[in-house]
């Protein structure tokens, strides 16, 4: 079953591409590949068409769940695959264009885009704040910062940042 959601991160998408590549190398005549929709097979029309061509050359079928398409190695399947791939690419381009326009409009309106800048107070970890006296006691006793971080359950970088701000 092939069909990553839009929210998957790049690492997972790369794994899916690798798995798809392995699948295409192993697929044989008469096999069936089921995917959520054709646009999930690739990022652009040419990638989708190449995958469908491989499937048609190897005489395996591709079924889509969302649109209930049944593609084989006949000419009507080839025409349908091309049309669906083209429409999916056009749709992705339109979505991308609308997103860019919306971001440009927001920026022109003065909206600050991107990750918010941190303030000094946002850097003070709540665990470190609650255990402040304990941290100072351990430091006075000669305990190392990595060991203290382990004892209170925070990353050592978090503790270093906390100590830099206090």
pLDDT digits (tens, 9 = 90+) for 28-71: 999 999 998 887 887 777 788 788 888 888 889 999 898 888 88
* Rounded-to-integer distance, Cα 4 and Cα 13, Å: 7
For residues 101-108, give the mean pLDDT. Answer: 94
Which ranges in the chain are annotated with CATH 3.40.50.1390? 10-108
11: tokens are 């690492």
CATH superfamily of 10-108: Resolvase, N-terminal catalytic domain (3.40.50.1390)
Which pLDDT does position 145 carry in this prediction?
94
* Rounded-to-integer distance, Cα 94 and Cα 79, Å: 23
Which ranges in the chain are annotated with CATH 1.10.10? 121-165
* Rounded-to-integer distance, Cα 64 and Cα 77, Å: 12
* Rounded-to-integer distance, Cα 31 and Cα 56, Å: 11
Task: Indicate the fold that domain 121-165 takes in CATH.
Answer: Arc Repressor Mutant, subunit A (1.10.10)
Longest dimension (CA), the chain: 79
- The residue whose two tokens read 């990638």 is 47
Which pLDDT does position 140 carry in this prediction?
95
Residue 4 has pLDDT above 70, yes or no: no
């Amino acid at each position: 079953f092939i069909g990553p959601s839009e929210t998957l991160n790049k690492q997972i998408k790369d794994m899916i591409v690798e798995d798809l590549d392995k699948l295409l190398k192993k697929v044989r005549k008469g096999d069936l590949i089921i995917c959520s929709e054709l646009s999930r097979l690739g990022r652009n029309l040419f990638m989708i068409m190449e995958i469908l061509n491989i499937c048609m050359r190897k005489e395996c079928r591709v079924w889509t769940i969302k649109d209930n398409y049944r593609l084989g190695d006949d000419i009507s399947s080839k025409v349908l695959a091309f049309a669906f791939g083209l429409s999916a690419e056009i749709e992705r381009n339109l979505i991308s264009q609308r997103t860019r326009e919306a971001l440009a409009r927001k920026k022109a309106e003065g909206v600050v885009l991107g990750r918010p800048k941190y303030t000094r107070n946002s850097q003070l970890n709540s665990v470190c704040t609650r255990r402040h006296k304990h941290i100072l006691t351990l430091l006075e006793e000669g305990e190392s910062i990595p060991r203290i971080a382990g004892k209170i359950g925070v990353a050592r970088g978090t503790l270093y940042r906390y100590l830099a701000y206090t």
